């Protein structure tokens, strides 16, 4: 019954119903909602628009010693587009079925985490926890709800980190999103692969479609596609043959765009092909050399341009005894019986901007025994998994925020 639902679940479903869906997210309604959450926490709240109409909401709970490096709990407010005809329920209804599965865009990516932060702190405040009176922590805790992550974060966290507001926040460690695990273990990410969106342009001899023209755009395009797809198959086999490798350890390639052509009987002067490539931090230079070699071998005049090219090599130390932030995080998880699997995040998150500044950053979404449905149709999260995540954060947050210098 609705009146028996856990208040945290009700709050989560309310957040999911706000249509912050790209390409036209309702940031205004979202900001009003988050300001209300800040008021409930008794947190200081400011709205920063690095780009007009694209607000970041920052909540601050001052610590007992504000001079110490602070803890940042980050989440993004925007979600990816939906195709309602492929959904069992309205993707913004936050429908909950009899099994307690809550359907909606953003249930996994990543409105769940934003609410888990908030509800964990509420729980600590009500219990007078956090190592200080009324749930206060030794260190200041900031919660940031940022826009535009699903478009790469350039107009969200990408700009926020360069503001005086962010510098004054004095961040020592940041938490952000991970993704679900289908096993009992939970995944934690200490780095991420680099997205390269590459558009390769193949010029060639134009002419009539009835001839054997030489040096055509189509011939060059075919060679480029063959190079990319053969390497894709090679990386797939490498991962399948080595059980120790995860998606974050290999280079993935997907053909995502084809452009060019006028009509069937006209050989075009240029054809283009686009690829989404994700590269582990250690393999950036190697892949750049491979890309240049393929273009040279495929024919004269081939050029390429990037829709996005991230060159981030920074990773967070996640070795026991070598990073006190990691030790505090890992110890809190162990106390809660959470088994961690450390990986490189296969996609891209806002933490690339944080790690670039030399700040420790971990990606963690406490969802186990759950199918990975981020960006998929019928995205859902079970309410018991969601509530368990709040309990876990209620252990992690004070472990970080009360870490002694």
Tell me the pairing of strands 171-176 and 70-76.
parallel
Tens digits of residue pLDDT in 282-327: 999 999 999 999 999 999 999 999 998 989 999 999 999 999 999 9
Which of 289, 309, 329 is the C-terminal boundary of a domain? Answer: 309
pLDDT value at residue 318: 97
Residues 348 and 262 in one domain: no
- Examine the fold and report which residue of 309, 331, 349 is the final residue of a domain before the chain moves on: 309
CA distance 176 to 361: 7
Q: Which of 101, 119, 148, 149 is catalytic?
A: 149
- State yes or no: is 270 an active-site residue: no
Q: Is residue 322 domain-shared with residue 367, that is, in the same domain? A: yes
CATH number at 217 reads 3.30.70.360
Looking at the 3D structure of the chain, how many domains does it have?
A: 2
Identify the domain boundary among 264, 282, 309: 309
Q: Does 305 qualify as catalytic in the annotation?
A: no
Instruction: Please name the residue that has the structure tokens 């300001």.
Output: 35
* Whether 278 and 360 share a structural domain: no
Residues 147 and 285 in one domain: no
pLDDT at 127: 86
Q: Is 300 exposed, middle or buried (0-12, 13-18, 19+ CB in 10 A)?
A: exposed
pLDDT string in tens for the chain (405-residue length): 455 899 999 999 999 999 999 999 999 999 999 999 999 999 999 999 999 999 999 999 999 999 999 999 999 999 999 999 999 999 999 999 999 999 999 999 999 999 999 999 999 999 844 444 457 899 999 999 999 999 999 999 999 999 999 999 999 999 999 999 999 999 999 999 999 999 999 999 999 999 999 999 999 999 999 999 999 999 999 999 999 999 999 999 999 999 999 999 999 999 999 999 999 999 999 999 999 999 999 999 999 999 989 899 999 999 999 999 999 999 999 999 999 999 999 988 999 999 999 999 999 999 999 999 999 999 999 999 999 999 999 999 999 999 999
**Does an H or E element contain 13, and which?**
helix 7-16
Same domain? For 340 and 245 the reply is no
DSSP string, 359-379: -EEEEE----S----TTSTT-
Task: Please check whether residues 172 and 272 belong to one and the same domain.
Answer: no
Q: Are residues 11 and 140 in the same domain?
A: yes
Biggest alpha carbon–alpha carbon distance for the chain: 83
The string over 305-333, giving b where at least 16 C-beta atoms fall within 10 Å of a residue's C-beta and e elsewhere, is eeeeebebebbbebeeeebbbbbbbbebb
- Do 267 and 205 meet the contact criterion of CB atoms below 8 Å apart? yes
Strands of the sheet containing 270-279, edge to edge, are 252-260, 270-279, 194-203, 303-309
Closest CA to 350 of 30, 73, 51: 73
One domain for residues 78 and 201: no
Boundaries of domain holding 339:
2-192+315-401
Other C-beta atoms within 10 Å of 84: how many? Answer: 11
CATH number at residue 161: 3.40.630.10
Let me know how many helices (H) and strands (E) the chain has, helices first: 10, 17
- Which entry of 78, 249, 350, 379 is annotated as an active-site residue? 78
Q: What is the pLDDT of residue 3?
A: 59
Residues 153 and 207 in one domain: no
**168 and 255 assigned to the same domain:** no
Do residues 348 and 152 lie in contact, with contact meaning Cβ atoms separated by under 8 Å? yes
CA angle 312, 171, 316 (to 5 degrees): 40
21 and 145 together in one domain: yes
Nearest to 132 by CA among 69, 63, 72: 63
222 and 173 co-located in one domain: no
């Amino acid at each position: 019954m609705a009146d028996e639902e856990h208040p945290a679940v009700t709050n989560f479903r309310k957040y999911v119903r706000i249509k912050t869906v790209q390409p036209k997210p309702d940031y205004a309604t979202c900001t009003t909602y988050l300001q209300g959450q800040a008021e409930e926490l008794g947190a200081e709240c400011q709205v920063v628009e690095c780009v007009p109409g694209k607000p970041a909401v920052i909540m601050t709970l001052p610590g007992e010693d504000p001079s110490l490096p602070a803890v940042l709990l980050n989440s993004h407010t925007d979600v990816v587009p939906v195709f309602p005809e492929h959904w069992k329920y309205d993707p913004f209804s936050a429908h909950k079925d009899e099994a307690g599965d809550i359907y909606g865009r953003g249930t996994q990516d990543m409105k769940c985490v934003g609410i888990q932060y908030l509800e964990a702190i509420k729980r600590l405040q009500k219990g007078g926890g956090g190592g200080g009176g009324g749930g206060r922590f030794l260190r200041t805790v900031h919660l940031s709800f940022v826009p535009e992550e699903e478009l790469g974060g350039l107009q969200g966290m990408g700009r926020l980190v360069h503001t005086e507001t962010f510098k004054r926040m004095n961040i020592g460690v940041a938490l952000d999103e991970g993704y679900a695990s289908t096993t009992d273990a939970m995944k934690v990410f200490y780095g991420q692969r680099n997205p390269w969106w590459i558009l390769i342009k193949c010029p060639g001899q134009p002419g009539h479609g009835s001839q054997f023209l030489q040096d055509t755009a189509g011939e060059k395009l075919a060679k480029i596609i063959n190079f990319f797809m053969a390497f894709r198959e090679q990386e797939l086999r490498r991962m399948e043959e080595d059980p120790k490798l995860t998606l974050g350890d290999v280079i993935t390639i997907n053909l995502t765009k084809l452009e060019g052509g006028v009509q069937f009987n006209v050989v075009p002067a240029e054809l283009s092909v686009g690829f989404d490539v994700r590269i582990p931090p250690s393999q950036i230079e190697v892949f750049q050399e491979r890309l240049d070699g393929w273009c040279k071998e495929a024919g004269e005049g081939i050029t390429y341009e990037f829709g996005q090219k991230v060159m981030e090599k920074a990773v967070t130390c996640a070795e026991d005894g070598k990073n006190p932030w990691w030790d505090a995080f890992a110890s809190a998880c162990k106390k809660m019986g959470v088994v961690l699997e450390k990986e490189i995040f296969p996609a891209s998150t806002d933490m690339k901007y944080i790690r670039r500044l030399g700040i420790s950053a971990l990606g963690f979404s406490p969802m186990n025994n759950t199918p990975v449905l981020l960006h998929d149709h019928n995205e859902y999260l079970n309410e018991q998994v969601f509530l368990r995540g709040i309990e876990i954060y209620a252990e992690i947050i004070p472990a970080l925020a009360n870490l002694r210098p």
